Amino acid sequence: YEVTEEAIDDLPETDTDVKLILGDPARAFSLANLPVDGVGLAREEFIVTSHVGYHPLELLERGEEERFIDALRTGIAKIGAAFYPNEVVFRLSDFKTDEYRNLEGGWKYEPAEANPMIGWRGASRYYDEEFREAFRLECEALRRVREDVGLDNVVVMVPFCRTPEEGERVLELMAEYGLSREEVDVWVMAELPSNIVLADRFAELFDGFSIGSNDLTQLTLGVDRNSEQLAPLFDETDESVTRSIGSLIEEAHSHGRPVGICGDAPSTIPEYVEFLLDAGIDSISVSPDVAVETLLTVAELEEA
């Protein structure tokens, strides 16, 4: 399949949006030629690693917070501009402690955890007494892209949010740091069993859910996603996972909230797309190399 203008014109419209998973700002403009409905997951970690390189607290300590904000803003703006006016969902940093330690100066601020995958990551960092200053810089970069640059297609997503109370604290801080819910849509990742069980409560707080099938599978089945030994047991098609997804979609829709997916499952398991459509998913995010194929599959399934 060649992404020419004619080929794109020939593609059927789909009811279910197909979006990209993206990290690298350098690829944004070329990938924006793909006939997709925006970006469902833009990973900020990638931008911090490639454009900043430093642990945010290290730059704060050096009095160089502008350096962090500016570099992050540049990366965010590149992706936001490339896909404008289609929506791009920027996920707030979800580095694990071992990954933060790899950033310049990171070892000073990060504990050495035995299980970083279920350690100090995601939402719980953002309201931490010390780390919230780093979170403020991220919010400021996003705010500037939206308000100063004018890219209002840029919206935000909170990863690894363990409880609704945690969600409330994060949303309060975001409002304080210039990203109020009145102005910007805020999505939450559905990637912990608690997100599924308490979907009604998360639906009251956030504008939509994006299923992180990687973490959801890991935590539902109790299988470390990095373990080679357990790899055969890591199965996104397990009934415990698929039923969780089905029940989330039902509950979210009954509260008027859309549900997308941005984990790897639909990019790597072809039959997953059919399951998701049957379950009533609103959008599917995939890696760029399978975007067109996914679009054609969705169109075919919707027609059948």
Closest CA relative to residue 122, chosen from 158, 172, 174: 158
236 is an interface residue for ligand PEP by CB under 6 A: no
Binding partner of 105, given ligand PEP, Mg ion, none, CB within 5-8 angstroms per partner class:
none
Closest contact distance (angstroms) between CB of 209 and ligand PEP is 12
Q: Which of residues 251-290 bind ligand PEP (CB under 6 A)?
A: 262-263
Q: What's the angle, vertex CA 109, arms to CA 106 and CA 115, rounded to 5? A: 85
Binding partner of 262, given ligand PEP, Mg ion, none, CB within 5-8 angstroms per partner class:
ligand PEP
Question: What are the phi and psi torsion angles at 170 (to 5°)?
Answer: -65, -45
Q: Which of residues 91-120 bind ligand PEP (CB under 6 A)?
A: 94
Among 37, 110, 215, 251, binds ligand PEP (CB under 6 A): 215
Closest contact distance (angstroms) between CB of 2 and ligand PEP is 29
Among 212, 246, 260, 266, binds Mg ion (CB under 5 A): 212
Q: Which of residues 179-208 bind Mg ion (CB under 5 A)?
A: 191
Handedness of CA 188, 194, 199, 203 (dihedral sign): negative
| Cα 167 to Cα 165: distance, rounded to the nearest angstrom | 5
Q: Which is nearer to ligand PEP, 213 or 297 (CB)?
A: 213
The DSSP secondary-structure symbol of 78 reads H
Asked if 94 and 121 touch (Cβ cutoff 8 Å), the reply is: yes
The CA-atom distances, in angstroms, between 126 and each of 104, 113, 187 are 20, 18, 15
Among 86, 124, 180, 214, binds ligand PEP (CB under 6 A): 214
By rule CB under 5 A, what count of residues binds Mg ion? Answer: 3
Closest contact distance (angstroms) between CB of 159 and Mg ion is 6
The DSSP secondary-structure symbol of 40 reads E
Asked if 19 and 283 touch (Cβ cutoff 8 Å), the reply is: yes
Contact set with ligand PEP (CB under 6 A): 41, 94, 191, 212-215, 262-263
Contact set with Mg ion (CB under 5 A): 191, 212, 215
